[in-house]
Chain A
Amino acid sequence: MLEVRSVTAGYGAFTALWDVSLSVAAGEAVAVVGPNGAGKTTLLRVLSGLLPARAGHLSLDGISLTGRPAHEVVGHGIAHVPEGRRIFPALTVADNLRMGAYLPAARRRFAESLAGVYALFPVLAERRRQRAGSLSGGEQQMLAIGRALMSRPKLILLDEPSMGLAPVMVLRLFDLIRRVRGEGYTILVVEQNVRQVLKIVDRAYLLEVGRIKREGRAAELAEDEFVRKSYVGL
């Protein structure tokens, strides 16, 4: 479904990604793991069009997305849940979700999408009139994911969903991501919590200093000596 070929990208004189290639098949859940500063966030920003790639190609279902700005990419079916959640704090929960269905095609299916999101995250329905900024960290992450689902995406990009959450909430969140996946969504997730994320994905890539160092099935990577020593902390 998603094809990334030889992407190089960066900020100013700094190159954050070197010749990165990866793919995600329909229905798959794939993780990109690696240390801080490896370029994981940059990779997702390139995929959603927030950062133009310097070189390389991107495509989704055979449609080229190379060079498309973010507001066009979402219309092609990629929803990006950015690092730090980036909900609209002064808007209500319901208005945040309404903004998720900004594009006309998504707006036409608004009621249906909203019912789906509320079924998945009942706490959002309870708090729909509350300011989003007043939610707890875990609830804000659910809202950010719910808002992304409102655009009826084919592929969801999740950037560090467990960041800043209490350990108990981290486990719940990974469980919720598993349920989102159960709804038939394709997921590409970036995480530092390697051990947890490898339990909920099919495959994973290891990114280090802007390059793909390892790739393989999640179960294999979890057993890989290099990954275990460096990231899983066993």
Chain B
Amino acid sequence: MIDPIFLVEAAVNGVLLGGILALLALGLNLIFGVIDIVWIVYVDLVMVCMYAIYFAHVHGWPFWLAALGAVGLGALLGIAVHVLVISPILGSPPINQLLATGGLLFFIQSFATFLWTTDHRSVRFALPTFEVGGIFLPATRLIPFGISILAMLALYLFLTRTFAGTAIRAVAQDREAMALMGANPRRVYVTTSAVGGLMAGLAGALLVFQYSVHPFFGGQFGPLTFMICVLGGLGNMVGAFVASFIMSEIISIAGVLWSTEMGYVIAFVVFIVVMFIRPGGILARPE
């Protein structure tokens, strides 16, 4: 029998991983909720931002400045994706829009391979690890978790307490009614894409603490992020938040019991089963 302390440690690690997954999922979900398009390419934007941090770091930038730069780059990439790829095909059938962002994904992956090769690159941090009651808590996990929680809190306050944020939620609920209020939907889309991109940049800055970056980094987190959004009910922010922690716990605990690969297998099985029982997501009322 496995020592219970390992299970507790896995559960804690699951929570720490869940924070970052939730940040990714909320970014993707925000864009879907407002524009009705799933950015399959989302985590690949995160990857580009991670490269930016890596190279800025190599060139001697202090980490905080590189991270700030990545957040700004993320916002610009978000706007670019919307204006260059999404906007021209807004009136097309959803499947074409999905394929277009999918095509962009392969473009970014190939271009990253061409520019930076398939080498794994990582930023090394000299940060302490704390021990609390036999559980090891590395600062490289605690800091990203703390910042992602703060970022989600900031997003929540932005969406609920500011005029621009309320307008974004209103467009997500009824685009046409919001046009009748005088909001130009196209402008709200650009704002939303910038906020979503900004969150991708921030996620990149946090993932760099624990993961090395390579051109196929999107494959590691992209499907998982998408699955979390569907599990929580596409567009449902609270659902995505809860689903992130369910998934991260499954992966983390199964990882200790068997192996990380098995953790992903179980996570995907749980996903498929839930889709049969509650196709509208975990928070939706069963039909």
Contacts and interface: CB of A to CB of B under 8 A. Distances in A.
Instruction: Answer yes or no: do A and B interact.
Output: yes
Interface of A: 48, 50, 69-71, 74-75, 79-80, 82, 86-91, 95, 98-100, 102-103, 106-107, 147, 151
A102 B173 contact: no
Chain B interface size, under 10 / 10 to 19 / 20 to 34 / 35 or more: 10 to 19
Interface of B: 163, 166-167, 169-170, 173-174, 176-185
B177 A74 contact: no
B236 to A, nearest CB: 10
Contacts of A90: 169, 173
B177 A82 contact: yes
A44 to B, nearest CB: 11
Given A88-B173, A91-B166, A91-B170, A48 B182 contact: no
Contacts of B185: 71
B177 A88 contact: yes
Contacts of B166: 91, 95, 98-99
B183 A102 contact: yes
A71 B184 contact: yes
Contact of A89 (B173, B183, B184): B173
14 contacts: A48-B180, A69-B184, A75-B182, A82-B176, A87-B177, A88-B177, A90-B173, A95-B170, A98-B166, A99-B167, A99-B181, A100-B181, A103-B182, A147-B181
Given A50-B176, A88-B174, A151 B169 contact: no
B169 A91 contact: yes
Nearest to B179: A70
Chain A to chain B: the 8 pairs with minimum beta-carbon distance, closest first: A103-B182, A86-B177, A102-B181, A70-B179, A74-B182, A102-B182, A88-B173, A71-B184
